[in-house]
Amino acid sequence: MGDMEHRVQAWWDEDAGTYDRSPSHAASDPVEAAAWRAALLRLLPPAPATVLDAGAGTGAMSLLAADLGYKVTALDLSQGMLDRLRAKAGERDLKIEVVQGPADKPPKGPFDSVVERHLLWTIPDPGGVLTAWRAAAPRGRL
């Protein structure tokens, strides 16, 4: 892992404990959650399609998709964020595969869809990461 990647990981590990307190980060407001569920149902292939949530953080999209019956793999650089995601999935009795790693090195797949929220704008090489996601979902939706 390069120095910059390590620094980014450490920053998000530190932020994981309070991340969900910021408005819209956890998608815990019922109206917001309903809007996200409707968007996921409209844009994703029918459940139980496989979904890679890139930059999953504490799991807002992963949890909503799993609630809807999707087979979700959550990818994030931060172990702290993924620990929060695992705890929330356990509280809801949801099965979500968790993978720690950078967004530009997704699990092999293939996935039926790749979703992201609050990530792509932070990536130094968005074209490269989109190419990596397309390789993980060669016939799927991004």
Is residue 57 within 8 A of residue 19, CB to CB? The reply is yes
The residue with greater pLDDT, 12 or 80, is: 80
Domain contains 58: yes
Q: Hey, what are 69's tokens?
A: 């019956």
The band of 90, judged by pLDDT with boundaries at 50, 70 and 90, is very high
Report d(CA 116, CA 56) in Å as an integer.
Answer: 7
Asked if residue 140 has pLDDT above 90, the reply is yes
Domain contains 141: no
**Other CB atoms within 10 A of residue 130 CB:** 17
* Count of domains forming the chain: 1
Report d(CA 40, CA 20) in Å as an integer.
Answer: 20
Domain contains 91: yes
- Give 13-66 pLDDT, tens digit per residue: 676 676 656 556 556 778 888 999 999 999 999 999 999 999 999 999 999 999
Question: DSSP label at 52?
Answer: E
Domain contains 61: yes
Average pLDDT on 114-120 reads 92
- Give 60-85 pLDDT, tens digit per residue: 999 999 999 999 999 999 999 999 99
Q: Look at residue 26 in the predicted model and tell me its pLDDT.
A: 56
> What CATH number has the domain bearing residue 73?
3.40.50.150
Domain contains 74: yes
Report d(CA 74, CA 61) in Å as an integer.
Answer: 9
